[in-house]
Amino acid sequence: MNGAEALVATLAAGGIDTCFANPGTSEMHLVAALDRGNEIRCVLGLFEGVVTGMADGYARMTGRPAATLLHLGPGLGNGIANLHNARKARSPIVNVVGEHATFHRGFDAPLTSDIQGLARPVSHWVSTSQSAQTIGEDTAKAIAEARGYPGQISTLIVPADAAWGEGAAVAAVPPRRGPASPHTPALAEAAEILSGRVNVALMIGGSALSGPGLELAARIAAHTGARLLGPTSAARARVGVGLPVVERIPYPIALARQTLADVRHVVLVAVDEPVAFFAYPGQPSRPLPKNATVHQAVTAEEDALEGLQVLADLVEAKSTTLQLQTGMEASRPQGELDLAKLAELFAAGLPEDAILVDESITSSFVLLPRLKRAKPHDFLQLTGGAIGIGLPLATGAAVAAPGRKVFCLQADGSGMYTPQALWTQARERLDVVTVVLANCAYATLRGEFKSVGIDNPGANALTMLDLANPELQWADMARSMGVEARRVRTAEEFAAVFDAAKRQRGPFLIEAMI
Amino acid sequence: MNGAEALVATLAAGGIDTCFANPGTSEMHLVAALDRGNEIRCVLGLFEGVVTGMADGYARMTGRPAATLLHLGPGLGNGIANLHNARKARSPIVNVVGEHATFHRGFDAPLTSDIQGLARPVSHWVSTSQSAQTIGEDTAKAIAEARGYPGQISTLIVPADAAWGEGAAVAAVPPRRGPASPHTPALAEAAEILSGRVNVALMIGGSALSGPGLELAARIAAHTGARLLGPTSAARARVGVGLPVVERIPYPIALARQTLADVRHVVLVAVDEPVAFFAYPGQPSRPLPKNATVHQAVTAEEDALEGLQVLADLVEAKSTTLQLQTGMEASRPQGELDLAKLAELFAAGLPEDAILVDESITSSFVLLPRLKRAKPHDFLQLTGGAIGIGLPLATGAAVAAPGRKVFCLQADGSGMYTPQALWTQARERLDVVTVVLANCAYATLRGEFKSVGIDNPGANALTMLDLANPELQWADMARSMGVEARRVRTAEEFAAVFDAAKRQRGPFLIEAMI
């Protein structure tokens, strides 16, 4: 058995059933081994940012790591932005990065680079296999590290001669460990705050936003009178009518501070204290008031459900009536499409149990208040701020959840970072409906220009924020990669095309001119 | 004066007239300063791999650094692959990477990452400005480092509060230093080898491939009977009919070894010893025979022209007749297009003094023997092996050389890494004719599969090397980004469309089905 075969067999033994790949010459033995094994589904991406974003989407929907297969330092480099997002989402991923043969590395061949150096900033664990003899154990370790709760990024670098070398063996992968139990004193303190103080907020994240913890958290909040808060962006949340209302902290720092102005105590469950996305002149980094105290009841690495159960018992919150999300009134907006009309139609039409990927950026300020009134769905957001995740994330989620329809709200500027994901959607016939929000601008930056205190940007600066010259033709671009697409300009057109897209199987893109 | 203004003014004082940019929130003050200064042309790229590839193309054509403007760690990450290529091309670039404000970094905001860690593997010099007070000096240092001969990558990380802070000052940039003189003993030894031994090769790189050194090198080779060799890939070379013949070392290691089998001495001028791109089982990393000796007459950091003048004097090579590239016979291939016909038509039609960017990958084996018989032109290749440079490199070369027509031979698989460059071509109305070589496959990997000793890849493995399902529609994709385009299937169509594309101004893409 050669090293590549041992690696692939160990991946399979460790429960990895999917490999998102963009291989090159140095990974040819790995490709051959993946082919022989046949236990792992390979999904090709035409660009590594697509590959790593797909792996993130897969992990968010399954809770399990996929493997990626990347080509040396530059291939890893292309995947870094979405690995950064995955790291912030706490998604498990096992990266397998090909490297020159050990005897070749000293020659400074064209593709030689410091792969470990590139991997470290986006990985919890990095290692380079030294030979075929260690590759099985190295792979088992990579899987075990990726499974570190709630999820970590492992990067295993595989020299070509470790892959083609003989004498390798499959290694046993240690069984997955669950999360650690939360600390009793921290829970007791949190319960005391929740029960005994006013102006308390219970802020939840991680699995508490989508699992059974959500109802428990809502019950605790309703019983104690605490506000139930969630982070601005979350890897995955269960959202929609009939579900507990979780107030998300707004993105603009001024608005976040205003929203949190009355808070005196924050109890954190599986989430960190809120922090501003960016710094601004004269604004603090923490949106919480200076006199607020922070109580970490459950860390992100601990068991949120167990913690919430204990908290609910301690505050005796069992039978409270919950504040649940109300639905929306039927409306049929007409005429020229704008963001508000699109939001109404999209939210009203979103089918039950959809997977919804959101990279709508500025448009989210209008979209999100409507979306939470849609039918219950899984809502996946950009967690690390590195734009260009929407299309890959939706693609990976669709690979992970066959039989569930995936929707993607994609801003046009950020969509242009990784449009190649559409090709993979077409190739794999994935059931993804993408709505491109075509405002022809880096609209977020126009706002940010003001936020940093610049009121009168000049013509050249505005040009750097404008995507209208030339105007992107997203429907044409989608078709060029095999995805059926339509450009729509009116509410009626959007409604009709959206209905048709929902009814059919396979990828479809709607370019919504807003 | 704030830090951003001092940075921009120092860039301008240091002779930087172009900034390739993809800014975000943390760079808004820099954008504003670029706007106020008005001395620096800003060129927007929709993806950072385009931005850094454009900067490489600009540097290769001007010999001077452009600036890039990148958004935090993930923005830099997206630019890493083409920075890797630029580093291997020894192109000068000054990267300006925005960073969170110093007081914000400790809060682990979503976009927080180890920017220095990401920058180091692709940069000769990395530094983070500590405040507005140091930013002018930091910028001057970054420019000076980038100018280190022949060219280096500088990365200056700029925290937002260093950019918006007041009390900054423009710094003086030290005058550019030329290359060091080569060492006399090394030249004397090389001259002795060239004059006194048989089976000698003179291998040249760097500026010797495109400047006046080329004729000197050819004269030395012709006089001494040495073979005149060049590297497999070069950042820039002057190629075409009437120019000295430089034998390039073939990419396949077996062929390279065969080509060099008789060589006993290699004299190197401004180039490193040849090394195989990849390692293969049972093949050495060095294509030179084991009994060959290597003589580094001039290093890449030294003055190649001066070295060649001394060598020519020492071997008394002044009046030798040179071996010059012959032209091609007129031919008018007809019928279904294939690579050979395309090569004939393209080479015959390439206008004098064109700039030709080559990322044709496998197709180069057929194309290159024809291209060297075209009219004299500047020939730019992929130097670092990280695919996805062709379209950005051509775009940057066109920005650098207004008035000169740029041509780009782009393989379809690698073109899909950075197709966003087409949008910048349309926006800036750049005079670039792109020919996409649409073979619908990672054709190079099919060959590599065999090279690593795998004769029978399975169906899944072949699927990972195939781009035909779905078939990319490059002409549609180009039009979706505002670039006029045509798909052609016959030699007659190609000839007619190529002629029309050459006559008009502005970008044009020909999708050649081969």
Angle in degrees, CA B426, B154, B96, rounded to 5: 55
Structure ipTM? 0.97
Closest CA in chain A for residue B48: A417
Q: Residue A76's pLDDT is what?
A: 98
**CA B158 to CA B30: how far, in whole Å?**
9
Chosen for mutation from A2, A90, A427, A460 (greatest number of chain B CBs closer than 10 Å) is A460
Q: What is the mean pLDDT of residues B191-214?
A: 96
Give the DSSP letter string of B131-151: SHHHHHHHHHHHHHHHTSSS-
Tokens of A149: 């709760």
Q: Could A104 and B279 be called an inter-chain contact, meaning their C-beta atoms sit closer than 8 Å?
A: yes
8 A C-beta contact, residue A506 and residue A427: no
Q: Is the pLDDT of residue A325 over 80?
A: yes
**CA A129 to CA A161: how far, in whole Å?**
10
CA distances from B220 to A37, B190, B296, B323 (A): 57, 11, 16, 11
8 A C-beta contact, residue B121 and residue B128: no
Q: Is the pLDDT of residue B455 over 80?
A: no
At A40, is the pLDDT very low, low, confident or very high (cuts 50, 70, 90)? very high
Q: Is the pLDDT of residue A211 over 90?
A: no
At B439, is the pLDDT very low, low, confident or very high (cuts 50, 70, 90)? confident
- Measure CA of the first residue to CA of the last residue in chain B; give whole Å: 57
**CA A445 to CA B58: how far, in whole Å?**
27
8 A C-beta contact, residue A157 and residue A142: no
Q: Could B481 and A481 be called an inter-chain contact, meaning their C-beta atoms sit closer than 8 Å?
A: no
Residue of B52, B43, B37 lying closest to B7 (CA atoms): B37
Q: Residue B121's pLDDT is what?
A: 98
**CA A50 to CA A422: how far, in whole Å?**
9
Touching check for A276 and chain B: CB below 8 Å? yes
CA distances from A8 to A2, A12, A67, A454, B281 (A): 10, 6, 10, 54, 20
Q: Is the pLDDT of residue A38 over 80?
A: no
Q: What is the mean pLDDT of residues A301-329?
A: 92
A·B CB contacts under 8 A: 305
Q: Residue B213's pLDDT is what?
A: 94
Tokens of B167: 């009390």
Angle in degrees, CA B482, B483, B486, rounded to 5: 130
H helix and E strand count, chain A: 20, 18
8 A C-beta contact, residue A289 and residue A263: yes
Cα of A358 to nearest chain B Cα, Å: 16
Determine phi and psi for A80, rounding to 5 degrees. -65, -45
Q: Is the pLDDT of residue B458 over 80?
A: no
DSSP letter (8 states) at residue A276: -
Q: Is A155 helix (H, G, I), strand (E, B) or coil?
A: strand
Q: Residue A363's pLDDT is what?
A: 87
Touching check for A272 and chain B: CB below 8 Å? yes
Residue of A191, A256, A245 lying closest to A220 (CA atoms): A191
Q: Which of A80, A383, A467 sits opposite B118 (nearest CB)?
A: A80
Q: Residue B25's pLDDT is what?
A: 85
Average pLDDT for chain B: 95
**CA B40 to CA B154: how far, in whole Å?**
18
**CA A203 to CA A200: how far, in whole Å?**
10
pLDDT tens digits along A249-263 = 999 999 999 999 999
At A98, is the pLDDT very low, low, confident or very high (cuts 50, 70, 90)? very high
Q: Which residues contact B284 (CB under 8 A, 6 or more apart)?
A: B253, B257, B276, B290
| Helical (H) or strand (E) element with A149 | none
Q: Could B46 and A413 be called an inter-chain contact, meaning their C-beta atoms sit closer than 8 Å?
A: yes
Cα of A320 to nearest chain B Cα, Å: 35
Sign, CA dihedral A122-A124-A128-A134, equals negative
Residue of A8, A34, A35, A55 lying closest to A424 (CA atoms): A55
Q: Is B449 helix (H, G, I), strand (E, B) or coil?
A: helix
Q: Could A80 and B84 be called an inter-chain contact, meaning their C-beta atoms sit closer than 8 Å?
A: no
Touching check for A383 and chain B: CB below 8 Å? yes
Q: How many CB atoms lie within 10 A of CB B25?
A: 23
Within 278-317 of B, beta carbons closer than 8 Å to A belong to 278-279, 281, 285-286
At A384, is the pLDDT very low, low, confident or very high (cuts 50, 70, 90)? very high
Q: Which of A26, A73, A385 sits opposite B84 (nearest CB)?
A: A73
Cα of B404 to nearest chain A Cα, Å: 23
**CA A217 to CA B390: how far, in whole Å?**
53
Q: What is the mean pLDDT of residues B354-367?
A: 93
Touching check for B251 and chain A: CB below 8 Å? no
Q: Which of B104, B384, B452 sits opposite A285 (nearest CB)?
A: B104
Rg (C-alpha) for chain A, rounded Å, is 24
Chosen for mutation from A2, A35, A249, A420 (greatest number of chain B CBs closer than 10 Å) is A35
At B284, is the pLDDT very low, low, confident or very high (cuts 50, 70, 90)? very high
At B361, is the pLDDT very low, low, confident or very high (cuts 50, 70, 90)? confident
DSSP letter (8 states) at residue B113: -
Q: Could B444 and A275 be called an inter-chain contact, meaning their C-beta atoms sit closer than 8 Å?
A: no
Cα of A4 to nearest chain B Cα, Å: 13
Residue of B262, B265, B286 lying closest to B275 (CA atoms): B286
Q: Which residues contact B436 (CB under 8 A, 6 or more apart)?
A: B410, B411, B412, B415, B474, B509, B510, B511, B512
Q: Residue A321's pLDDT is what?
A: 83
Touching check for B124 and chain A: CB below 8 Å? no
Residue of A511, A469, A466, A467 lying closest to A490 (CA atoms): A511
Average pLDDT for chain A: 95
Write the secondary structure of B8-67 as one string of H (helix), E (strand) and C (coil): HHHHHHCCCCEEEECCCHHHHHHHHHHHHHCCCEEEECCCHHHHHHHHHHHHHHHCCCEE
Touching check for B457 and chain A: CB below 8 Å? yes
Tokens of A417: 């970072």
pLDDT tens digits along B307-360 = 999 999 999 997 778 889 998 887 899 999 999 999 999 999 999 999 999 999
Check whether the bond before B150 is cis (ω within 30° of 0).
yes
Sign, CA dihedral B67-B68-B71-B76, equals negative
Q: Could A74 and B384 be called an inter-chain contact, meaning their C-beta atoms sit closer than 8 Å?
A: yes
Which residues share a beta bridge with A295? A267
At B362, is the pLDDT very low, low, confident or very high (cuts 50, 70, 90)? confident
Residue of A470, A3, A243, A512 lying closest to B452 (CA atoms): A3
Touching check for A175 and chain B: CB below 8 Å? no
Q: What is the mean pLDDT of residues B53-60?
A: 98
Q: Which residues contact B11 (CB under 8 A, 6 or more apart)?
A: B19, B40, B67, B94, B139, B143
Q: Which chain A residues touch B470 with a CB distance below 8 Å?
A: 423, 426-427, 481-482
Q: Which chain B residues touch A448 with a CB distance below 8 Å?
A: 24-25, 28
| Helical (H) or strand (E) element with B468 | none
pLDDT tens digits along A134-157 = 999 999 999 999 999 999 999 999
Write the secondary structure of B148-163 as one string of H (helix), E (strand) and C (coil): CCCCCEEEEEEEHHHH
Biggest distance spanned by C-alpha atoms of chain B: 70
Which residues share a beta bridge with B268? B203, B296
DSSP letter (8 states) at residue A91: -
Within 210-249 of B, beta carbons closer than 8 Å to A belong to 233
Touching check for B74 and chain A: CB below 8 Å? yes
Q: Which of B420, B457, B477 sits opposite A35 (nearest CB)?
A: B457
8 A C-beta contact, residue A286 and residue A299: no
pLDDT tens digits along B79-132 = 999 999 999 999 999 999 999 999 999 999 999 999 999 999 999 999 999 999
Tokens of B125: 């010099």
pLDDT tens digits along A452-466 = 677 777 777 777 888
> For residue A246, which amino acid is it?
V
Cα of B412 to nearest chain A Cα, Å: 10
- Measure CA of the first residue to CA of the last residue in chain A; give whole Å: 57
At B450, is the pLDDT very low, low, confident or very high (cuts 50, 70, 90)? confident
Of A120-134, A460-474, B482-496, the one with minimum mean pLDDT is A460-474
Q: Which chain B residues touch A107 with a CB distance below 8 Å?
A: 275-276, 285-286
Q: Is the pLDDT of residue A441 over 90?
A: no
> For residue A442, which amino acid is it?
Y
Strand-strand pairing, A377-381 and A237-239:
antiparallel
Q: Which chain B residues touch A286 with a CB distance below 8 Å?
A: 107
